[in-house]
Amino acid sequence: MDGFTPVEQDRRDALEAMTPEQRQRARWYADVRRVLSAAEACQAVPLPLVFRDRVRFALYEYSPAAIRMLGDAEAELSAALHVTFSGGADEDRREYVLEAVLESGMQVQIANPASYVAEKKVTGTTVVETVEWVRLPAVPETADENAAADDDEAAGVAA
């Protein structure tokens, strides 16, 4: 069949008539629908939190099964969304976060408390010496100190 069906042609015409802001908004909605469809089909993920720039799956599993659950969620979402997740520990939030980016630029995150799915490994130590110059207070000389300094000078000349 050559050409497009009337419905497909209407969609193409509507897309061409959109401003860049409208196109970005349409892409955002399409990506959110895509992620929600994937989440509905995946048993390993909870309901996502949807933000303007990202969709976040917060597992918050505090058990030994957390490692398996994170791996299952990553595998199922990777397959459903055709993305590759990467990431690591977020020290500020004490979470282990896997991230992937969709075509529109929206991030998909899978998060779990870091203490249950990762461990800290010391790979080296660094000692840094910090030097700060501190101004000494000015102490006025007293008459007794001047006399003692003169006596020391006189004794040094006499010797």
The model's pLDDT over 25-37, given as tens digits with 9 standing for 90+, comes to 888 888 899 999 9
Where residue 103 sits, what CATH number does that domain have?
Answer: 3.30.460
Would residue 30 count as lying in a domain?
yes
Would residue 158 count as lying in a domain?
no
Q: Could you read off the pLDDT of 76-133 as tens digits, one per residue?
A: 999 999 999 988 877 777 888 899 999 888 999 998 888 777 777 777 777 777 766 6
Would residue 138 count as lying in a domain?
no
- Amino acid letter at 16? E
Name the helix (H) or strand (E) containing 116. Answer: helix 114-117
Q: Name beta bridge partners: 57.
A: 110
Would residue 146 count as lying in a domain?
no
Which of 41-45, 130-134, 142-146, 154-158 has the largest mean confidence? 41-45
Full residue range of the structural domain in which residue 69 is found: 6-117
Domain total in the chain: 1
Q: Could you read off the pLDDT of 38-81 as tens digits, one per residue?
A: 999 888 788 899 998 999 998 877 777 888 888 888 999 999 99
Whether the predicted pLDDT of 6 surpasses 80: yes
Q: Is 63 left (phi over 0), alpha (psi -120 to 50) or beta?
A: beta
Would residue 155 count as lying in a domain?
no
SS (H, E, C) 26-47: HHHHHHHHHHHHHHHHCCCCCC
